[in-house]
């Protein structure tokens, strides 16, 4: 986590924290249905004002979907902001949205629960990943998230500190914690769609992109399973959770096995995103820095 300067620590961070906290309480008071409707409306209103983030999103969409028109890309960006505004409004209503879900691939979760070894559940900043992790924890087994704290400690305390499980810091500091948990038959949750310097470059929407690989290396060495899971928002407001096994490379060459398995992981993410592009967070600088040098 970046060290915050005095301006952020004593002025900007508290103001943002209080502002977000007010909305958190507001959405918590509202019934879930009205909370998501209200948030969706607000997301549509703020979308045009997020100019810098929209430029990044537009560039990413141009890489991923070069054949889409300018109007189609802008529509996806607007729907993305609406989707993630709804995501924020849903967070105070965990018990309600967990109770009404359609789940495909339960057999993979049952297998992870009953195989007496640890394993990984990989997701992305797609749909409602908090729904996915909470559902698994409530119905199958505890998940321990690999986790980067929010830069703003006020938001960290409000939105993320209540997550169950052991919070595993990203980087070398969390490696020992992760290994100890896995050896004890525990399960690790990881969001696999961000660019990491310590990852490896594999194809993602036709471009080489640095992608997390430590999970795959550990899984191959320890012979542990990896499943992919996402919770996609349906038009009626419910969620459909999809769980599938990650195709693992059969190569005896460790380096090649890791590369092929990470590439398979990106192929699954590509398929999810292509099916419902407005539910992925396009505002990350996912590709090489050179793709964004003019932004």
Lowest mean pLDDT among 19-23, 39-43, 217-221: 19-23
| pLDDT value at residue 13 | 79
**How much is the average pLDDT of 130-134?**
83
**For the residues 66-93, what does the mean pLDDT come to?**
95
pLDDT(281) > 80: yes
As a whole number of angstroms, the distance between CA 24 and CA 35 comes to: 10
Name the token pair of 226.
């990896």
Residue 154: partners with Cβ closer than 8 Å, 6 or more residues away:
13, 14, 16, 17, 18, 20, 21
Q: What is the pLDDT of residues 221-254, one digit of tens each?
A: 999 999 999 999 988 888 899 999 999 999 999 9
Question: Beta strand pairing status for 119-123 and 226-233?
Answer: parallel
Whether residue 39 is predicted with pLDDT greater than 80 in this model: the reply is yes
* Closest C-alpha to 60, from 184, 185, 209, 254: 209
Look up residue 143 and give its two tokens.
């998940």
Q: Is 202 helix (H, G, I), strand (E, B) or coil?
A: strand
The reported pLDDT for the residue numbered 162 is 61
Q: Which tokens in the block code for residue 243? A: 């769980």
Mention every residue, 6+ apart, whose C-beta is less than 8 A from residue 56.
Answer: 282, 283, 284, 285, 292, 295
- The string of pLDDT tens digits covering residues 146-197 is 877 677 777 767 666 666 667 787 766 778 889 999 999 999 999 999 877 7
**Residue 185 region by backbone torsions, left for phi larger than 0, else alpha for psi between -120 and 50, else beta:** left
Residue 45 has φ and ψ, to the nearest 5°, of -70, -45
Report long-range pairs for 94-97 (Cβ below 8 Å, ≥24 apart). 94/130, 94/134, 96/32, 97/32, 97/128, 97/131, 97/238, 97/239
Say which residue the tokens 């052991």 belong to.
166
Element at 129 (helix H, strand E): helix 129-139
Q: Average the pLDDT over 34-48 and give the result.
A: 95
pLDDT category of residue 121 using cuts at 50, 70 and 90 = very high
Instruction: Considering only residues 7 and 97, tell me which one the structure prediction assigns the higher pLDDT.
Output: 7
- Report which of residues 134 and 99 the model is more confident about: 134
143-147: strand order across its sheet: 101-104, 239-245, 226-233, 119-123, 187-191, 143-147, 168-169
pTM of the model: 0.90
Rg (CA), the chain: 19
């Amino acid at each position: 986590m970046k060290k915050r300067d005095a301006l952020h620590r004593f002025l900007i961070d508290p103001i943002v924290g209080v502002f977000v906290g007010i909305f958190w309480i507001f959405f918590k008071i509202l019934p879930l249905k009205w909370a998501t409707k209200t948030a969706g409306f607000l997301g549509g209103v703020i979308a045009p004002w997020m100019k810098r983030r929209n430029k990044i999103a537009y560039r990413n969409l141009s890489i991923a979907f070069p054949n889409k028109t300018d109007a189609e890309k802008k529509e996806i960006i607007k729907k993305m902001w609406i989707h993630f505004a709804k995501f924020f409004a849903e967070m105070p209503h965990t018990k309600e949205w967990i109770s009404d879900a359609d789940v495909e691939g339960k057999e993979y979760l049952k297998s992870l629960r009953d195989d007496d070894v640890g394993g990984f559940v990989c997701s992305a900043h797609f749909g409602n990943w908090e729904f996915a992790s909470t559902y698994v924890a409530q119905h199958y087994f505890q998940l321990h998230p690999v986790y980067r704290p929010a830069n703003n400690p006020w938001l960290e305390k409000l939105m993320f500190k209540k997550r169950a499980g052991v919070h595993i810091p990203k980087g070398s500091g969390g490696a020992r914690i992760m290994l100890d948990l896995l050896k004890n038959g525990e399960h690790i949750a990881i969001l696999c769609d961000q660019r990491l310097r310590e990852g490896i470059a594999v194809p993602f929407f036709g471009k080489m992109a640095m992608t997390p690989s430590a999970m795959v290396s550990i899984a191959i060495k320890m012979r542990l399973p990896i499943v992919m899971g996402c919770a996609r928002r349906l038009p009626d407001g419910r969620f459909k959770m999809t769980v599938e096994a990650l195709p693992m490379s059969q190569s005896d060459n460790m380096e090649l096995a890791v590369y092929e398995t990470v590439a398979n992981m990106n192929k699954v993410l590509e398929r999810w995103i292509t099916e419902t592009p407005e539910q992925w967070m396009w505002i990350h600088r996912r590709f090489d820095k050179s793709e964004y040098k003019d932004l």
